[in-house]
Amino acid sequence: MAGHDDTGAAAGAGGGPPARERPTPAGALAADGPGATGPDATGPDATGRGATVPGTTGPDATRPEATRPDTAGAGPGREATAAEPAPDEDRPPAAARLNLAVATVGFTLTFWAWALIAPLASTFDERLHLSSFAQSVLVAVPVLVGSLGRVPVGALTDRFGARLLFPLVSALTIIPVLLLVPAKGSYGALLAVGFVLGLGGTTFAIGVPLVNSWFPPRHRGAALGVFGMGMGGVALSGYFTPRMYRHSENLPFLVLAAALAGYAVLAALLLRDRPGRPVPTTPLTARLAAAGRLRVTWELSALYAIGFGGIVAFGVYLPTYLRTWYGLSPTDAGTKAAGFALVTVVFRPIGGWLADRVHPAVVTAWALGAVALLAVLQAFDPALTPTATVCLLLMAAGLGTTSGAVFALVSRVTPQPQVGSVTGIVGAMGGLGGFVPPLVMGAVYSAKSSYSIGFMLLSSLALAGCVYAYGRMRGAGSPGSP
């Protein structure tokens, strides 16, 4: 307890003479691994007498670990030192897994809502007679708003916690989903509803700080990768939404609204913020400005814009590319694009898992290096079967791995109180990075009747990211790194 002599506390707790102070072994302060931040990053103090209890604040945050009886089978009279960790201190608690599962389900449903308009764009065109540009704007509005909205939502999560924000945002997303029912007959109404529908894309910036706070450093990469699989909600939307719409025009909106309502109740009951998580008290704008001043924020944004931006770009443009260059039918092109999306979803947690065992920057560098090589091969316009199919699927694996590894790097190098703010900025840049490549590919094809230049540009960006990740970020999060 603060203000009391440690030796007195020891005698009172153990009923015997005070324990003799022992030196703390080297490395005890790094028990959570390099770059650990947040509540779990604190360990024994320099004297070896006390340790900060994870998740507590105030006068009870320290206790005389040096005199705590060893409960792991020690003999009589033996006492544990602060350097002796609890047997399961590096194992995620059951509550961590529950929160991860609930957050992943919510991420999947809100991403389904986020991508609700895109599968129906051609159907709306039949009714409203839209130009190609008008269809592109209609699809782009919710994605752009969702990407930019991650910035303030991430900062709000730092302040108020995911327990409040996740069910609240899920419930609010029901409103634009249901408004699509009367808005189907008006392009202006669809644009307005699509703007609000972008709210569903912001939950990524809510879930990452939640998962990051619950899992110890050595498990965060895999946990964040599992959470990232929620982006498969886009694939679910592409498959189920048009089929339900053909059965009944209002069915997909009603079904998704009901699912979101049920999830909002479930999240309110089950989600919990990590006890003792650091809560910033500075204003929102100040915290965003502080996150923006971190050099690592923009380094991570650039890497994520290549990795996740590549996934978004292929998700938007791959069907067009396959129809235009290889002459596939819309159904076949959509099926192959769905396969590409599935591979990215599967490899995102693999990237996080690898990043827990190898430095995330090294995993990112190898994955982007593979993407650079495969993009060069695809630039030579190989036959679709098997060469182009293999190239595209391996590129999907590389981009998915990159996305998982980059967010493992976020958890390693970002101070815990700023994880939400940094995640919001990085996630926004990743989403926005997906809309430049389709514009470039379309412009290049219009001018040159070839996609080769576009793939060479992708290769150049991926190679630049590979070199930067390995050369600059390889030591990030290690003791003594800047």
Per-residue pLDDT tens for 278-323?
777 778 788 788 888 888 888 888 898 888 888 877 876 777 788 7
pLDDT digits (tens, 9 = 90+) for 150-202: 888 888 888 888 999 999 999 999 999 999 999 888 888 999 999 999 899 88
Long-range contacts, 87-94 (Cβ 8 Å, 24+): 89/31, 89/216, 90/32, 90/216, 90/218, 90/219, 91/216, 92/214, 92/215, 92/216, 92/219, 92/223, 93/214
Q: Of 359, 447, 449, nearest to 408 (Cα)? A: 359
**Which phi and psi angles does 118 have, rounded to 5°?**
-55, -45
Distances in whole angstroms, Cα of residue 174 to Cα of each of 7, 108, 443: 59, 14, 37
Q: Of 412, 415, 404, 441, nearest to 303 (Cα)? A: 404
Instruction: Give every residue of the chain whose pLDDT is below 50, as ranges.
Output: 1-88, 479-482
Judged on CB neighbours under 10 Å (0-12, 13-18, 19+), 243 is exposed
**Which phi and psi angles does 86 have, rounded to 5°?**
-65, 145
pLDDT score of 13: 39
Cα 481 → chain centroid: 24
pLDDT score of 482: 45
Question: What is the rounded distance in angstroms from the CA atom of residue 321 to the CA atom of residue 334?
Answer: 11
- Asked if 338 and 384 touch (Cβ cutoff 8 Å), the reply is no
Amino acid at 324: T
Question: What is the rounded distance in angstroms from the CA atom of residue 331 to the CA atom of residue 176?
Answer: 28
Long-range contacts, 160-166 (Cβ 8 Å, 24+): 161/210, 161/273, 161/277, 161/279, 162/103, 162/206, 162/207, 162/209, 162/210, 162/271, 162/273, 163/268, 163/271, 163/272, 163/273, 165/206, 166/103, 166/106, 166/203, 166/206, 166/207, 166/210, 166/267, 166/271
Q: Which residue is associated with the tokens 């290769």?
A: 459
| Rg (alpha carbons) of the chain, rounded to whole number | 25
